[in-house]
Each structure stands twice: as structure tokens, then as C-alpha cells.
Amino acid sequence: MEGKRTLFDRLFPGGHGVSCVGQVLRGWGATTRGRVHVIGTTDHAAIDARIALMLSQAVLDAVAQGPAGSPLPILFIADTQGQALSRHEEALGLNGYFAHLARCVQGARERGHHLVTLIDGEAVSGGFLAFGLLADAIVALPGAEVRVMDLRAMARITRISHDRLVALARTSPVFAPGADNYWRMGGIHAQWRPDQDWAALLEQQLYAAPADDARADLGAVRGGRLLAASLARQVCDAP
Amino acid sequence: MNATGPSRLWNHEARRRTARLTRCAAFLRGKEVAAADMVPFLEAVLEPGDRVCLEGNNQKQADFLAAALADCSAQRVHDLHLVQSVLALPEHMTLFEKGIARRLDFSFAGPQAHHLARLVQDRAIEIGAIHTYLELFGRYFIDLTPQVCLIAAQAADAAGNLYLGPNTEDTPAIVEATAFKSGIVIAQVNELRDALPRVDVPADWVDCFVVAPRPHHIEPLFTRDPAHITEIQVLMAMMAIKGIYAAYGVERLNHGIGYDTAAIELLLPTYGAELGLKGRVARHWALNPHPTLIPAIEAGFVERVHSFGSEVGMEAYVAARPDVFFTGPDGSLRSNRAFCQMAGLYACDLFIGSTLQMDLDGNSSTATLGRITGFGGAPNMGSDARGRRHASAAWLQAGREKCGGGPPVRGQKLVVQVVETWREPHHPTFVERLDAWQLQEDMGLALPPIMIHGDDVSHVVTEEGVANLLLCRTPEERSQAIRGVAGYTPVGRARDRRFVENLRDRGIIRRPEDLGIDVRQATRDLLAARTIKDLVRISDGLYQPPKQFRNW
Amino acid sequence: MESFQYDLPARPCVALPVRAELWGVVSSGNLEVLVETGPPPDQCRFQVETSAHGFSEVWQAVLEDFVTRHAVGGLSFSIHDAGATPAVVSLRLEQAMQSLKAP
Amino acid sequence: MNRIPGKSYREATARQRVAGLLDADSFAEWVGPAARATSPHLAALGLPCSFDDGVVVGQGRVEEAVVTIIAQEGQFNGGAVGEVHGAKIRGALQRAVRERPTAVVFCIDSGGVRLHEANAGLLAISEIMRALLAVQGAGIPVWALVGGSCGAFGGMGIVARLCDAVVMSEEGRLGLSGPEVIETVMGVEEFDARDRALVWRVTGGKIRRTLGEATVLVEDRLSAFRAALESLRHSCPVALPRTLDALQAVQDQLTARATRESDLRDGQALWDRLGLGADAAWMDTAQFNRRLQELA
């Protein structure tokens, strides 16, 4: 949490009030254009049903509290090692808790809340899919680790040699961990450098005009994901 | 005779037995030995060089006794000669690695086949011979009688009477040979009961028993999940049923274990019924209670089944179908490997099973390089019993085909091998030379480990067709008949096409279309059960599959 | 992966042109075959991509037998194979033939 | 006793499912196999490709009503989502917003992200989620069918639970992390992935139905899934509302469940508590549904 406080000092020089309960962050930050909601996780949280429920309640509260007609932006802080792995969570139906969280995030979007995610720390598959990856804009901070699975585990499961995967990863962004790879594929909109004015950059993102999901097009423009956009369009327009 | 000379002793063995029992008397309370005393007890009973049967079967294992024996000091217990049908447990291998045992006569080493091959190559083990089951049981009464046997039973009473439960397997043969030749019979039991449901081994044949800390392991070896049966196996099963079962009117038979034969079992109530075969084929069986036989039983195809052992999960079903199975007064299955093998050899008209390799003489083997699997029961079932004298329609018809028309002096057992031409890429089933020959060289065996000899094989069924070897008159016809169903394997592609077409004209080779079978109808929809759950449903909930076979 | 193409003389298919149809799936020991209208009516084309190396002669033998059995001139068969045995290859081709339909 | 009635949904291929679920000859495929939209990433790794990259998308009819249908092929790479596979699904969902079918039928049979193109797969699932939420936003319901051999896991487990109705068979499985993954990371004591009965008691159709996650539990028959679609036309004609009240109600339900089932590790415990009986795992589907209804 200490690291996050430093982050919020930098993001919100005008002030902030974010509390942390059980790896879940909730609160507000002040920008030059007013307050925004802050919701997220910290300390590489393994997201279980309890955390997912706290996040979805935070989103619902943010929607309920907002002054009607001018919904406040929501800043998501993603720092997760992925979903919690246990028999109990599976029996309980953790995927359903994640889906509910995703529906709440969409509910906020549909009510005009602009959604921005900052990846600060780790962003790993399941835990990231449920809220961070659903934002309108996703930003990786320096040192952010974005991945589905590390290459050694992948080599073990796919039975492709680790050396071969490492070699292929040099030319293709399609499977290897890394914020750069996700940027090239359009999955991350921006990566901020340490020397930039993050408060200013954040404001630009938070108050940008809302847009449809254009990540696939972005991936094509950046050359990291050449087929996703064109193929979806081909399906849309097929006779 | 010589009335004046010093009187000769005629009871060396009995004296030796008494000495053994005296040495271990301190451990006995009545006939019971405490589990904790098992290692010192065995060290007291056994003598170096003893011939020992440590009961190991396909399914039932005297696993507690095996572990205790493996824990014995090799200083005190060494150079044992093991005479047992199956080597299944890692502890069996430990005995040889520690020097507790040195020599082995056996039948089958399924799960330890690789390990055994390694021990042989390292000269850590001497192998007397690889036997068929009946052969080994026979030698128990001739020259391989155990001096000590370690067996597994379901329950004992305080007097030492044993109840074996549904899995009898080898126990009667072992105990009979040991107990009546002054040997020591030691049993591990799962439970001590006041009254047994039935007495399978009387107390005076049993010297001592131990209540094992855990019930002995039983492997559900005969459960084949219908979900894994392929369309190709369905096609071959259709050919076997129409081309052999129907053609010969096979009423008495045995099936090997495998998906190929499970497919046949599951096609009887569907395809077999459509062909009007109910009541005409597959009525009497020498077979373990295969779960895949349930639909054929329920459909009324199967009238009677005698079993070698049992199958986990089939207990309640068997108990509820006493007209079909051999059961005791308590309702549980009474099985017996020796009797069932004998039934398979003498009282069945057909054996059908699969193999890993077959050569142009029709010799087949499941032994491949680096593995010594042994034979088990297939060679007894899969051979023509030349001592057979009673006739049946199927046996006579096969006999007529074999002798080429004249009045037969004997019939012929139908021995069918059902195989896909390729097991997987790079592994053709049909080969010019069996790995068994290389194995014989590597292992220094007296004979190549051939499971079923070509001269015993009557038919080969592959996805390409059925070859009837009974009708072949020359070695060349025989090898071309095999090439003619060997598909696109190198052996199959080396066929003489005109020769093979000629064999087809003579009915020696029959393709699916020759049998009136449309290949495209060979789908899994033809199976009477497609899942384990279907089997449960058809059994009316009586079949209770082990958890590893359930997806609900 | 290994790939090869065979163009074999064949008797013309009576159902030409046919609707493109996919049979089977690419999974271990299985394959998919896509049947389309393609070459001239007296030719049949096979394009094979397979994960099992060193079997081109076996493929050729299987496909030649298939062309002998069926009138498949004017058709193209594109195959993705994941180690199917020749028995499975033949079965899939038979199933595909059974389903040929006009577009 | 003769044949098992009807074709198994679990054993059917994606194309057989599509044919069996829709009115006869009503299916029109979008970007079908002849378009050869295969995965360049699998090819780069020297792995076999599929002409449809493991997913069939298009439109057809259920009792004359037009539906968009998406069917994953579980036998191809475990139904896993890669770039092309995911883009086809997303395109079909976007098209549904434009063409406004009666519903989107989503036959999910997938372990989640295809590791060989993991980043593309993860982004594709995220895009599928957004596109699916947009379909629902347009009022069109999405019905998930889960009865294939791969079930619905990983991101596709989340997608399944986004849907307005979930039709499952007992053999279907629905979850997030596969048992093998949990066993590998947390140990066999946590989850013995080889204990199949346990795996199904934790993730299978019966526990999902008991918890209300599966809307209906049907027999593993193609015809039973088709019949479920027919009745969904009446019971689930529009997308679930995403009003604040509706979302809060779900929030409260899920909170109550997490509290009530705070030590749930096995479906049997749930059935014992509900009084369904020790043989709940053995009951056939009809009997199980009947007992659940009696207890409700």
C-alpha cells in the first residue's frame, strides 16, 4: 500500500483519499477538473470471490453516488497475480463473480462513467479480464508485468522448447509476457515513462471522449495484431 | 523290502514345516499374527532359497504381505524363488533389487514390464520361464510347488477360515498346492469376522492370517469406458459379429480385454439384434464381469458367465443377476482363474483378442522392445485344445474348413485376432519380424515370447477386412491373406494384388462390402452404451463404477 | 508439418459443382477434410498438411485407392491431418463423399 | 433396451451441434472453412491448423426465429481462443447488434485462452466480453450452451456467466481455473484432478444447476439442447436488465452465497444440506431436476 500512496501523490497532487481493505483500494482522487473514483487492487492480489464482491460493490456505489447527469470517471488500479486458485473458489463459482463484476463495469460505462485502468505491478489473465481489461483506456506504468503465463510454464504445457519460445518471442508479440507486447497488439493504449507528468497524462485519459472498443484496430495500426480487426469486419460483412 | 536296514525318513517336509511353525510360534495368537509383527514373523518362517508364492493377480494383490517381505532383512531372507502369476507391484521388484529373491517363474508383468526387462538386463534376476496361467498352475503340482504362500482374502474368522469375496483368481490353486505339500499358508485379510458369508478356504488349510491395516488393492482392470471406442473399432466389431459370430453360430466364447472386444460386446444388443442373432450367438461366456457386457446381458443375449476374477463396481449387479453369474449363497461372485481358464480352453468355441504385433505367419505378441509383459491367459484361451472331444456346430464348421472338405476327425477352435493395421503413425501392427525375436536375443530366453502362435489363429480382423486362415492351403496363401488385410502398412503394401483378389474370390479375404457392411454406418451411434453413465443407467443403477471412470 | 499435393486422374464427379463442406476435426489421431469444386473434371486434387512425417508414400497409396473407388474428378480435397491412421483417413474421405451436395 | 436415444451433444462436433440445434437446412455460415481463415501463429510453431480455426459462426433459425449461432470446436486445441478464433466470435456478436436476431446462441466448449497465442487470446476474450455486453445492451439475449468435453473454463468461463441463460448437461463443466492447474500450483491435496467424480461434483452441471448458475440442466442429447433453446424463446426472450437495482440484487445474492457457502469444497456438501440425498451425484437428470424443484 505504501507504494500505492506514492503513486496517488503523483497522480493527484490536488489530494486523494484512498483506503485499502484486504488488498482492495477504494476512494477518490482530485484532478483539476474535479474528483474521480478510484477502485482497484494492490500487492499482486489473487482475486477471490470476496475481493471480486468488494470491487463490484465499489463500482455500484460509484454509480449510485454520482451526481445525476455528470457521472464521474472511474480510475481502476490493476495489480493482480490472477484469480485465486482453490477448490473452494471453483465450487463457489468464482467465474460468476468475475462476470458480475464485468457486468457492473459495463453498467457504469452505460451510465456515462469514463473508465481508465492503470496497471501498477502485475496484470495476469483471469484477474485482469474481470475489470481492468474492460476499461475504455488502459495504461501500463513502468515495470508493469502483463501476461497470461510465463514462458517456462507455457513450454511445459505446450511441449514446445523454452529456447524456441524465447527465440520466437523476439519477433512476435503474440504470446510472450510484457507490456510492450500488449502495447503493440493494441491491448494497452499507452505506456508512461517515469519522467512524464502522470497527473497531466491521467487527466487527458480520464476526460477523453468515450469511444467504442477499438483495440483490434489499434493492434493493426501498431503492427502487432494484424488479423483481429479485419477478420471481425469480414464476419460482419459476410454475405 | 529291506526290513533290516536303517529305516528311511519319509516326512522331511512335514518336519521342516513343524520347525518353521515352532520358530514363529511366539508371534501367533491362535492363528492370528499382529500386523506390526509381520516382518520378524516372515524372517522366522522363511528360509534362504525357499520357493514362495506371493499372491499377485491381475486385480487382487497381497500388497501388505509384499511390503512386509520387501522390508525383511536380506541377511536373513535371501535367494527366494518366486512362483506367482503376476508381477504388478513395485515391491515385487524391490525383492529382487535387495537380493531377497533371486529366481522367478511367472506369467505376466503388466505394470512392471519395463522394470523387469531392466532387471533381466542387469542380471539382477533369473527367469525360469514365462508361462501361461494354466501352465504355471500345473507346475505348482509338479515341480514348482510353493513351500510358503502369501495370499490375500477378504475376511477370516477366529479359527482361520477364509472368505475370498468375489475376487478368487489364483487363490485355490495356490493354497491347494501349498497346504497339501507341507507348505505354510499365510493370508492377509481385510477384516476379522465372527461369521463368514461362506467358507472358501477351510481353516485347517491355513496356518496363520494377519488383518492388514488397509484392504488389499484391487485394480479395475476390466473396465473399458465406451467413450473411448472409435468408429474404426465399431467397424471391426461389425465385421467380427457378421463375418464370424453369425457365420459360425458361435455360442460359447471368451473375449480379451480391450476396446476392440468391448465394441463387440456393445454392438451385440444393437447390430447383433438387427442381424437376428439373439439366442443364436454369444450365449455362454468365460469372462470377467466386464461392465461393457451389461447391455448384452440386459438384452437377453447372455445366458451365463463364469469368471476368472471380478471387477470393481460390479458387485451389486452380479448379485442381482444370479441366473447369469456364478454366485455363492451370500450373493457375491464365485470366480476361479484355474477353472475359468480350463473352461476357456476346453468348453469355448471362440477366443477373440487383440495384439500389438503380428507377423506373416500370424504369430502375435504383446512383447515389444524393452518390455517383458508375459502372457497371462490369452494363450490358453487362444489355442486349439487338441484334447477336446465334444462337438459343437462352430467347432465342427471350423474343423471342416481347416481340413479342406473331407470328413473331419476333429473340430477346430476359432482363434480371432482383431487389430487395426496401424496403432499410430510409425507403429504398424503388421511386421515382417516380431520384436519378440530381438527380445529373445537380448534377454537370453529359450523361446521368443510369442503370445499366440500363428498356427492357432483362425481369423484376422482389421479395418480392411476379415482373413480366414483356416481356408489357406499353403504358407504363401496364408501370408498373402495376412498382407491382404494389413492395409497400408509396409507389409500390406507389399501384397501381390492379383493373388489377394483371388483370395477374395475364394472367400478367404472378405471386405466390408463382401460382408454387406456399409463402412459409413460404422458410427458410435451404433453402440448400446456410449458412456460409463449409460452402463449405469442400463444396469438400473446396480453398476457402481469406480470414481476414476465417472464424470458425474 | 509436412505438406504435399497430388493431382490424380479421376472419373468425373456427377454432382459438380459441389458446396464446400468440411468433415472431421483436427485433433490427435484425427483429421479434417475440406471438399470443394476445383480442378478440371478428369482430375482430382489432394492437398495434404500432416503432422506425421515420412508418410507421403502411404498417403499416395490411400488416395490412389480412393480415386479408384469413387468418381471424384473435378473435386479438390484439402486435408489437415494430426496423425490419423490410414483407416481414419479413408473413413473421413468416405463420409465426405457421402455428403456431397449441390450448392 | 436397444440404442441410446438420440445423438450425444458431448460427442458431436461443432458443426454437428449447429446442424442439430437449428431448423433443418437453415444455417448460413460466415467466413466458413473455404475462406481458410487459419491461425498464422499455430503455423509459425509448426502445429496443425484448422480451416475454421476451431469455431463456426453464422445464422440460422430455431422454430423459424432467426438466431446468430457461435459454436466452438472443443476437439481442436481444446476449443481455445486465439486471434482468428476470437475475431470470428467478436464479428458475429457485432453483426448481431446490427441485424437484431431473436437471440445469440453461444455453444461454448473451451478451456479459455490458446496458450500458443496467449496475448492475442486474452485480448480477444476481453473484446468478446465487451461485444457480448453490447449485444445485451441492445436488448438481445445471449444463451450459452455448455455440454462439450472441454466445458467452459478460463475467460470463457467468465463469458458463459455473462450470458442471459446457461443450458448445461450434467457432463458439462463450468469454472474458471481447470482442476489440473489448481493441482499443479496448489498440490494434489487441494484438488485431485484425476478424481473425476470430484471434478464433476465441483464444476459439473449438477452443482452449477443447484447454485442457479445453469438455468436449465438437460440430458446429454443434441435434441435436449435444441428443446431447451425452444423453451428459452419464451422464458428468456430479452437480455437481463442492467439497472442499478438489478445489479445490486445480483450483488446481494452472490454475497449471500459466499457467506452461506464459505466452506464449500464439494457439491455433495451442498446436496446434503439441501436434503437432496447421498445419491444426488448418481441421480439421472430428470430425477435430479424433479428433486431440486420439490425442494425449491
Q: Do chains C and A touch (3 or more CB pairs under 8 A)?
A: no
Contact at CB, D33 and C26, closer than 8 angstroms = no
Asked whether residue A153 carries a pLDDT value surpassing 60, the answer given is yes
Contact at CB, D13 and C25, closer than 8 angstroms = yes
- Residue A130 and residue A52 in contact, taking contact as beta carbons nearer than 8 Å: yes
pLDDT value at residue A104: 97
Residues B33-80: tens digit of each pLDDT: 999 999 999 999 999 999 999 999 989 999 999 999 999 999 999 999
Question: Residue for cell digits 487395426?
Answer: B420
Residues in chain D: 296
For residue C58, give how far its alpha carbon lies from the nearest alpha carbon of chain B (Å). Answer: 6
If contacts are CB pairs under 8 Å, which of residues 20-59 in chain C contact chain D? 20, 22, 24-27, 30, 32, 34, 36, 49, 51
Give the mean model confidence (pLDDT) for residues A95-111.
97
Q: What is the CATH number of domain A2-142+192-208?
A: 3.90.226.10
Question: Residue for cell digits 481347416?
Answer: B402
Interface check D161 vs C, CB under 8 A: no
Topology given in CATH for the domain delimited by B226-534 = Glutaconate Coenzyme A-transferase (3.40.1080)
- Residue D271 and residue B542 in contact, taking contact as beta carbons nearer than 8 Å: no
Question: Residue for cell digits 511367472?
Answer: B106
- Residue D112 and residue D157 in contact, taking contact as beta carbons nearer than 8 Å: yes
Residues B39 and B48: their CA atoms lie apart, in Å, by 15
Residues C96 and B130: their CA atoms lie apart, in Å, by 48
For residue C63, give how far its alpha carbon lies from the nearest alpha carbon of chain B (Å). Answer: 11
Asked whether residue D3 carries a pLDDT value surpassing 80, the answer given is no
If contacts are CB pairs under 8 Å, which of residues 450-479 in chain B contact chain C? 463-464
Burial B110-147 (b: 16+ CB within 10 A, else e): bbbbebbbbbbeeeebebeebbbbbbbbbbbeeebbbb
Q: Which is it for strands B162-163 and D65-72: parallel, antiparallel or unpaired?
A: unpaired
Low-confidence ranges of chain B (pLDDT < 50): none
Ordered by start, the domain boundaries in chain A are 2-142+192-208
Judge residue A163's burial from the number of C-beta atoms within 10 Å of its C-beta, 0-12 exposed, 13-18 middle, 19 or more buried: exposed
Nearest Cα residue in chain B from C87: B463
Q: Which of C3, C18, C27 best probes binding to D when mutated, by most D CB atoms within 10 angstroms?
A: C27
Q: Which is it for strands A24-31 and A34-41: parallel, antiparallel or unpaired?
A: antiparallel
Interface check C52 vs B, CB under 8 A: yes
B342 sits in which H/E element = helix B337-346
Residues D286 and D296: their CA atoms lie apart, in Å, by 15
- Residue B287 and residue B254 in contact, taking contact as beta carbons nearer than 8 Å: yes
Cβ-Cβ contacts under 8 Å, B426 against chain C: 52, 54
- Alpha carbon A216 to chain centroid distance? 16
Residues D71-105: tens digit of each pLDDT: 999 999 999 999 999 999 999 999 999 999 999 99
- Residue B86 and residue B109 in contact, taking contact as beta carbons nearer than 8 Å: yes
pLDDT value at residue B3: 55
The three cell numbers locating residue D276: 437432496
Residues 6 or more apart whose Cβ sits within 8 Å of residue B447: B440
Contact at CB, A100 and D161, closer than 8 angstroms = yes
Nearest Cα residue in chain C from D38: C80
DSSP label of B4: S
- Residue B185 and residue B175 in contact, taking contact as beta carbons nearer than 8 Å: yes
Residues 6 or more apart whose Cβ sits within 8 Å of residue D6: D221, D222, D223, D224
Q: What is the CATH number of domain C2-98?
A: 3.30.230
Asked whether residue D211 carries a pLDDT value surpassing 80, the answer given is yes
Higher pLDDT: D106 or C17? It is D106
pLDDT value at residue C101: 64
Q: What is the CATH number of domain B12-211?
A: 3.40.1080.10
pLDDT value at residue B206: 98
Q: Which among A51, A28, A50 has a CA at the least distance from the CA of A39?
A: A28
Interface check B504 vs D, CB under 8 A: no
Residues D135-194: tens digit of each pLDDT: 999 999 999 999 999 999 999 999 999 999 999 999 999 999 999 999 999 999 999 998
Q: What is the largest CA-CA distance in chain B?
A: 87
Residues A223 and A180: their CA atoms lie apart, in Å, by 12
B12-211 shares its CATH topology with B226-534? yes
Interface check A80 vs D, CB under 8 A: no
Asked whether residue D2 carries a pLDDT value surpassing 60, the answer given is no
For residue A210, give how far its alpha carbon lies from the nearest alpha carbon of chain D (Å). Answer: 14
Residue in B534, B538, B547 closest to D196 by CB: B547
- Residue B431 and residue B357 in contact, taking contact as beta carbons nearer than 8 Å: yes
* DSSP class per residue in A25-87: EEEEEEETTEEEEEEEE-TTEEE-HHHHHHHHHHHHHHHHHSPTTSPPPEEEEEEEEEE---H
3-state helix, strand and coil shares in percent for chain A, rounded to the nearest 5 = 45, 25, 30
Residues A226 and A218: their CA atoms lie apart, in Å, by 10
Question: For residue B239, how many other CB atoms are within 10 A of its CB?
Answer: 26
> In chain D, how many domains are there?
1
Interface check D12 vs B, CB under 8 A: no
The CATH number for D234's domain is 3.90.226.10
Residue in C1, C20, C22 closest to D15 by CB: C22
Residues D72 and D109: their CA atoms lie apart, in Å, by 5
DSSP label of B272: I
The three cell numbers locating residue B185: 499358508
pLDDT value at residue C80: 98
Question: Residue for cell digits 501388505?
Answer: B64
Contact at CB, D4 and B548, closer than 8 angstroms = no
Q: Do chains D and C touch (3 or more CB pairs under 8 A)?
A: yes
| Single-letter code of the amino acid located at B225 | D
Interface check D152 vs B, CB under 8 A: no
Query: For residue B409, which phi and psi values (nearest 5 degrees)?
Result: -90, -20
pLDDT value at residue D1: 43
Judge residue B204's burial from the number of C-beta atoms within 10 Å of its C-beta, 0-12 exposed, 13-18 middle, 19 or more buried: exposed
Question: Residue for cell digits 443377476?
Answer: B321
Contact at CB, C26 and D13, closer than 8 angstroms = no
Residue in A57, A98, A234 closest to D176 by CB: A98
* Residue B425 Rama label (left phi>0; alpha psi -120 to 50; beta): beta
Question: Residue for cell digits 456364478?
Answer: B326
Judge residue B102's burial from the number of C-beta atoms within 10 Å of its C-beta, 0-12 exposed, 13-18 middle, 19 or more buried: middle
For residue A68, give how far its alpha carbon lies from the nearest alpha carbon of chain D (Å). Answer: 13
- Residue B132 and residue B380 in contact, taking contact as beta carbons nearer than 8 Å: yes
Asked whether residue A234 carries a pLDDT value surpassing 60, the answer given is yes
Residues D214-230: tens digit of each pLDDT: 999 999 999 999 999 99
- Residue B417 and residue B452 in contact, taking contact as beta carbons nearer than 8 Å: yes
Residues B42 and B186: their CA atoms lie apart, in Å, by 10
Q: Please state the three-class secondary structure of A186-229 as a single string.
A: CCCCEECCCCCCHHHHHHHHHCCCCCCCCHHHHHHHCCCCCCHH
Residues B178 and B180: their CA atoms lie apart, in Å, by 6
Contact at CB, D51 and C30, closer than 8 angstroms = no
- Residue D132 and residue D242 in contact, taking contact as beta carbons nearer than 8 Å: no
Contact at CB, D49 and C30, closer than 8 angstroms = no
Give the mean model confidence (pLDDT) for residues A98-111.
96
Q: Which is it for strands A137-140 and A115-124: parallel, antiparallel or unpaired?
A: parallel
Residues D56 and D32: their CA atoms lie apart, in Å, by 7
pLDDT value at residue D282: 82
Residues D23-50: tens digit of each pLDDT: 999 999 999 999 999 999 999 999 999 9
Residues A71 and B167: their CA atoms lie apart, in Å, by 74
Q: Which of D11, D13, D110, D114 best probes binding to C when mutated, by most C CB atoms within 10 angstroms?
A: D13
> Model ipTM?
0.89
Q: Which among D156, D165, D143, D136 has a CA at the least distance from the CA of D21?
A: D143
Interface check D149 vs C, CB under 8 A: no
Q: Return mean pLDDT, chain B.
A: 94
Q: Return mean pLDDT, chain A.
A: 94
Ordered by start, the domain boundaries in chain B are 12-211, 226-534
Angle (CA) B543-B544-B549 rounded to 5° is 115
Asked whether residue C102 carries a pLDDT value surpassing 80, the answer given is no
Q: Which of A53, A129, A230 best probes binding to D when mutated, by most D CB atoms within 10 angstroms?
A: A129
